[in-house]
Amino acid sequence: MIAADRPLRVAVVGAGGWGEQHARIFAGRDDCELVAVAGRTVDRTNRRAAAYGSVGYTDLHQMITETTPDLVTVCLPNEDHYRTTRFLIDSGMNLLVEKPLVFDLSEADDLLARAERQQIFFAINFNHRYAEAVQRAKAEIDAGALGDLVFLTWRFGGEANIGRSPHANLIETQCHGFDLLEQLGGPIDTVAAQMADHTYGACSTVALALSFTSGAVGTLLGSYDSSYAFPDSQLIEINGTKGRATIHDTVQRLTVSSHGDETARVWQPGYFGDDARSFRHTFDRYVDALLAALRADGPPPVPAAAGRRALQLATAAIASHERGTRVPVDEFDPA
C-alpha cells in the first residue's frame, strides 16, 4: 500500500494533445508528483515536461529506473498502445491506459494475462462514466425511476481521426458507447451491423442493432462523417416502462420524464458549474476515484478488462458486417 502521507509519483507516457490532460491533472494535484513525461520526440517531450515542472524522457527503461513511479499513465496514438503497454506491464508498473486498450483481441488477452501474472493495478480511461449527467442518469435507473428498460440509444459523431484501421471509428471512439450502454443497460448479447464509407474509404459510419440480456433492445450510431460542432453530436436515450432519460453532449444536460407527464426534470450545470460542464473535468473526477483505489490497494474503478469488453463488442459488430447476419457477442469471449 502506498503511504497516505506522501505524494504519489506519476509518470505520463505521451506528449500529444490528450496527453497534456494527463500532465495537467497529475501536476496540479497536491497528492501527486509528476516525476516524468515520456515521448518519442526529444524537443516536444522536453517542452511538455518543462511546462508542467517535470523531466522529459525518450527511453522508458531509463524513465522507470530513474524516477521509480507509483503509477504510469499511457496516452499514445490509438493504434500504438500494445508494445508500450506490454513493456510497462512486464516492468511491473501500475498503469492507467487510454482507450482503446488495443485493436486486436489476442493482444488484449495477452496484456490482461501479463498484468494478472504481475499483479499490477491496470486501469483504462473510460471517463464518460464520470460525467455528472451520466452518473445522475445511472442513479435514476438504479432507483427504478425509469422502470424496466425497454430500449437504449447512443449517437456520437464528429470529424474523422484517420488511422491505419478501417474500423478506427468503431474501436477507438464508439468504445465509449459500448461501455456506457452496458453501464446503463447491462450486458449486450447480440449485435447486427450496417457500415458505410462516405468520407475516407473506411467504415467511417456504423449503425448497430443491439439486444441486451435483460430483454431490452438498443441502437448505436457512430460516425466519423459528421462534426463535433453540431449540437447533440453525442446523445444517449434510455427508455423504460415508467419513464425516459436523455443525456445531451455528455456533460451539458440530463432530462428525466415520466410516462404520461408533459413536464420533465432537467439537470444542467449552473452559473458556477464550470467543472461539471467541462468534458475534460470528467477525467479529473475519474482520477479522484482511481487514486483512492490505488492507495487502498483496491481494484481499479474501471479495469482494463472493460477495454477488452468494448473491443469484444466492436469485434462482434465487424463480424456481423462481414457475414451479413446477427452475431452473438459471446462468440468472442476470452478462451
Q: CATH 3.30.360.10 residue ranges in the chain?
A: 128-277+312-329
Question: Which strand ranges, in their side-by-side order, compose the sheet holding 243-248?
Answer: 264-267, 253-258, 243-248, 234-240, 149-157, 217-223, 205-212, 188-196, 327-328
φ and ψ of 156, to 5 deg: -150, 120
Q: Is the domain defined by 128-277+312-329 classed in CATH 3.30.360.10?
A: yes
Dihedral sign from CA coordinates of 299, 133, 255, 311: negative
- CA dist 194 and 186 (Å) reads 23
**pLDDT tens series, the chain, 335 aa:** 677 789 999 999 999 999 999 999 999 999 999 999 999 999 999 999 999 999 999 999 999 999 999 999 999 999 999 999 999 999 999 999 999 999 999 999 999 999 999 999 999 999 999 999 999 999 999 999 999 999 999 999 999 988 899 999 999 999 999 999 999 999 999 999 999 988 877 899 999 999 999 999 999 999 999 999 999 999 999 999 999 999 999 999 999 999 999 999 999 999 999 999 999 999 999 999 999 999 999 999 999 999 999 999 999 999 999 999 999 999 999 98
- Total-model pTM: 0.96
Q: How far is CA 99 from the centre of its chain?
A: 5
In the numeric block, which cell numbers belong to residue 103?
485493436
Class of the CATH domain delimited by 8-127+282-301: alpha beta
Q: CATH 3.40.50.720 residue ranges in the chain?
A: 8-127+282-301
Asked if residue 236 lies in contact with residue 180, where contact means CB atoms within 8 angstroms, the answer is: yes
Residue 285, CB-side half-sphere exposure with 13 Å CA sphere: 19
Asked if residue 188 lies in contact with residue 174, where contact means CB atoms within 8 angstroms, the answer is: no
Residue from 247, 239, 187 nearest 213 by CA: 187
Asked if residue 10 lies in contact with residue 33, where contact means CB atoms within 8 angstroms, the answer is: yes
